[in-house]
Chains A and B, each alone.
Chain A
Amino acid sequence: MSNDDERPGAWLPRERDWQPPALAPDYRSSVARSPRQPLLAFPTTPSEETGPVFGHTLIGPQDHDLLHNFARDGASAIGPRIVVYGQLRDQSGRAVPEALIEIWQANAGGRYRHYNETYIAPLDPNFGGCGRCITDANGYYEFHTIHPGAYPWPNGPNSWRPAHIHFSIFGQAFAQRLITQMYFEGDPLIPLCPIVNAIPHREGVESLIAKLDMEKTLPMDSLGYRFDIVLRGRRQTYFENRREGL
Chain B
Amino acid sequence: MSSKTPLLHESPSQTAGPYVHIGLTPIFSGVDGVYREDPGSVMVNDKTSGERICITGCVYDGEGAPVADAMIEIWQADATGLYPSPQETRGSADPNFIGWGRSAADPDSGEFRFDTIKPGALADADGNLAAPHITVWIVARGINIGLHTRLYFDDEDDANAGDALLAAVEPRERAASLLAQSQGDGNYRFDIYLQGARETVFLDI
Given contacts A20-B14, A20-B145, contact A32 B8 (CB under 8 A): no
The reply to whether B99 and A52 form a contact with Cβ atoms under 8 Å apart is yes
Interface positions, chain A 3-35, Cβ under 8 Å from B, are: 3-4, 9, 12-16, 18-22, 24, 27, 29-35
The reply to whether A34 and B83 form a contact with Cβ atoms under 8 Å apart is no
Interface positions, chain B 1-24, Cβ under 8 Å from A, are: 3-24
Q: Identify the interface centre among A58, A104, A205: most chain B CB within 10 Å of its CB.
A: A104
A215-229, CB under 8 A of B: which get 1 and which 0? 000000000000001
Rounded to whole Å, the gap between the CB of B8 and the closest CB of chain A is: 5
- In the assembly, what is the distance between CA of A60 and CA of B37, in Å? 12
Binds A, one of B50-58, B85-93, B153-161: B85-93
A159-189, CB under 8 A of B: which get 1 and which 0? 0000000101000111101111100000000
B26, CB-defined interface residue at 8 Å: yes
B71-97, CB under 8 A of A: which get 1 and which 0? 001011100000111111010000000
- In the assembly, what is the distance between CA of A67 and CA of B29, in Å? 19
B120-161, CB under 8 A of A: which get 1 and which 0? 001010000010010101011111111100100000000000
B105, CB-defined interface residue at 8 Å: no
Q: Identify the interface centre among B22, B63, B122, B139: most chain A CB within 10 Å of its CB.
A: B22
**Nearest-neighbor residue (CB-CB) of A208 within chain B:** B12
The reply to whether B22 and A168 form a contact with Cβ atoms under 8 Å apart is no
The reply to whether A22 and B122 form a contact with Cβ atoms under 8 Å apart is no
Q: What residues on B are CB-neighbors of A63 within 8 Å?
A: 34-35
The reply to whether A229 and B11 form a contact with Cβ atoms under 8 Å apart is yes
Rounded to whole Å, the gap between the CB of A91 and the closest CB of chain B is: 5
Binds B, one of A38-46, A74-82, A133-141: A38-46
The reply to whether A40 and B140 form a contact with Cβ atoms under 8 Å apart is no
Rounded to whole Å, the gap between the CB of A204 and the closest CB of chain B is: 4
The reply to whether A32 and B63 form a contact with Cβ atoms under 8 Å apart is yes
The reply to whether B194 and A104 form a contact with Cβ atoms under 8 Å apart is no
Q: What residues on B are CB-neighbors of A51 within 8 Å?
A: 75, 85, 87, 100
Interface size bracket, B side: 35 or more
Interface positions, chain B 22-52, Cβ under 8 Å from A, are: 22-24, 26, 29-31, 33-36, 39
- In the assembly, what is the distance between CA of A42 and CA of B205, in Å? 5
B204's partner among A1, A40, A50 (CB-CB below 8 A) is A40
Number of interface residues of A (CB under 8 A): 95
Q: What residues on B are CB-neighbors of A192 within 8 Å?
A: none
Given contacts A195-B14, A195-B15, contact A22 B61 (CB under 8 A): no
The reply to whether A46 and B13 form a contact with Cβ atoms under 8 Å apart is no
The reply to whether A33 and B202 form a contact with Cβ atoms under 8 Å apart is no
B187, CB-defined interface residue at 8 Å: no
The reply to whether B14 and A42 form a contact with Cβ atoms under 8 Å apart is no
Rounded to whole Å, the gap between the CB of B205 and the closest CB of chain A is: 5
B98, CB-defined interface residue at 8 Å: yes
Chain B residues proximal to chain A, CB less than 8 Å: 3-24, 26, 29-31, 33-36, 39, 61-63, 65, 67, 69, 73, 75-77, 83-88, 90, 98-100, 107, 122, 124, 130, 133, 135, 137, 139-147, 150, 165, 168-169, 174, 194-195, 199-205
**Nearest 6 pairs of A and B residues by beta carbon:** A104-B23, A29-B142, A33-B142, A50-B85, A52-B100, A50-B83
14 extra interface residue pairs, beta carbon distance < 8 Å, beyond A29-B142, A42-B203: A19-B13, A32-B61, A32-B63, A34-B143, A35-B200, A42-B204, A45-B165, A50-B75, A129-B31, A130-B23, A174-B135, A179-B13, A179-B14, A180-B13
Chain A residues proximal to chain B, CB less than 8 Å: 1, 3-4, 9, 12-16, 18-22, 24, 27, 29-37, 39-54, 58, 60, 62-63, 69-70, 89-93, 102-104, 106, 112-117, 128-132, 166, 168, 172-175, 177-181, 195-196, 198-199, 203-205, 207-208, 229-233, 243, 245-246
